Amino acid sequence: MSNSPYIQAVDVENFEKVVIQSSFQVPVLVDFWAEWCAPCKALIPVLEKLVAEYQGQFILAKVNTDEQQELAMEYGIRSIPTLKLFRQGQMVEEMTGAQPESVLRTIIDRHRDRKADHLRFEAIELYRQGKVDQALLLLERAEHIEPDYFPVILDKAKMLLDQKRFAEVTQLLQNLPANVQTDPATEELQVQLNFAQVADRSPSVLQLRQILADNPLHYEARHQLGAQLVLAGEYPEALEQFLELMRQNRQFGEDAGRKSILGVFMLLGNSGELVSRYRSKMSSLLLA
């Protein structure tokens, strides 16, 4: 085992101190392994490389399952290597099998303290106080510290979206790496941007209702009303408007009705009674 102070052999007696108590300061990655396990040995250099790189930003705790069978039973170890990450006294991540460096790095980064986070949280508080320019300035500093830390970019994009600075939000999202663009948080922000842009160039809700009363086949007005309703949190009525648009004209806006319904589903976490009900309605319409 490496002589790094950030790698600790763990047993029943010191597990509470090394893992549970230490996890209140930094993430603790517990590696359940054994001498005879080939994948465990393959994982060793990867883990030691990360320990050397992170220099105390996380602790690697090694549990030899042959010697520490009580711990292995307590934590339900059925195969090795098994990795469990502890933070704030609780297990927050679990992986089985030899993991690539990229996966381990992502898991550790998700839970470690980052310099940029302190600026992020301060910026968010300033924004809540209405100090928009100061908040954005802090996020720029955070981005300079950690250019590849995409939560900073998303925080900035959300603030700019609230300010209706749509072109800047679009540019920020387009410049994100491909893997980040497909992250659910990014996709949700893109959906919000799409609805905000539609609503921003539309008449008021009252005017849109009057337009539709006079002409129920005014597709653009129906689409705009749905977007306004989404931004107001009126999801059931918004879904009804988009479903009706889908029923009336699948060609409008390259199937804007169906796309908008899917966008609302994403904002609702793709789950729940409302999503299930309208997914069924949409499927029935598609099969009609």
DSSP of 224-260: HHHHHHHHTT-HHHHHHHHHHHHHH-TTTTTTHHHHH
Q: Say yes or no: 148 and 220 in one domain.
A: no
- Decide if 209 is inside a domain: yes
pLDDT recorded at residue 2 = 64
pTM of the model: 0.68
| Closest by Cα among 84, 85, 63 to 14 | 63
For residues 184-196, b (16+ Cβ closer than 10 Å) or e, as one string? eebeebbbbbbbb
Same-domain status, 105 and 121: no
pLDDT at 1: 56
- Say if 264 falls within a structural domain: yes
Q: Which domain holds residue 279?
A: 199-287
pLDDT reported for residue 131: 96
Token pair listed for 215? 């002409």
Q: How far apart are CA 104 and CA 99, in angstroms?
A: 7
Pair 23, 92 in one domain: yes
pLDDT in tens, 225-235: 999 999 999 99
171 assigned to some structural domain: no
Q: Does a structural domain hold residue 176? A: no
> If we measure between CA atoms, which residue out of 87, 79, 88, 90 comes closest to residue 108?
87
16 Cβ contact partners less than 8 Å away, ≥ 6 residues apart: none
Cβ contact 30:85 at 8 Å: yes
Residues 17 and 88 in one domain: yes
| Peptide bond just before 203 cis, omega within 30 deg | no
DSSP single-letter state for residue 23 = G
88 with 128, same domain: the answer is no
Q: Which residues touch 263 (CB under 8 Å, ≥6 apart)?
A: 191, 194, 195, 230
Is it the case that residue 150 has pLDDT exceeding 80?
Answer: yes
pLDDT at residue 219, as a whole number: 98
By three-state DSSP, how is residue 30 classified? strand
d(CA 217, CA 116): 50
Coil vs helix vs strand at 7: strand
CATH number assigned to the domain comprising residue 254: 1.25.40.10
Residues 63, 121 within the same domain? no
Q: So which residues are the catalytic ones?
A: 37, 40
**Same domain as 271, residue 208:** yes
Any domain includes 1:
no
Question: Are 208 and 228 part of one and the same domain?
Answer: yes
N- to C-terminal Cα separation, the chain: 65
* Residue 182 included in any domain: no
**Do 99 and 122 lie in a common domain?**
no
Separation CA 158–CA 40 (nearest Å): 42
Residue 42 pLDDT class (50, 70, 90 cuts) = very high
Taken in order 281, 284, 286, 288, the sign of the CA dihedral is negative
Banded pLDDT at 48 (limits 50, 70, 90)? very high
Residue 180 has a pLDDT of 85
In a domain, 105, yes or no: yes
Q: What is the mean pLDDT of residues 236-241?
A: 98
Whose structure tokens read 């290597």?
Answer: 81
pLDDT of 281: 95
d(C-alpha 200, C-alpha 273), whole Å: 29
Which CATH number goes with the domain that contains 58? 3.40.30.10
Same domain, 213 and 275: yes
pLDDT at 11: 95
Contacts of 97 (CB under 8 A, 6+ apart): 39, 79, 81
The 10 Å Cβ neighbour count of residue 248 is 15
Please give the Cα distance from 42 to 104 (Å, whole number).
14
Model confidence at 115: pLDDT above 90: no
DSSP assigned state of 22: G
| Confidence at residue 96, expressed as pLDDT on a 0 to 100 scale | 92
- Residue 3, pLDDT > 80, answer no
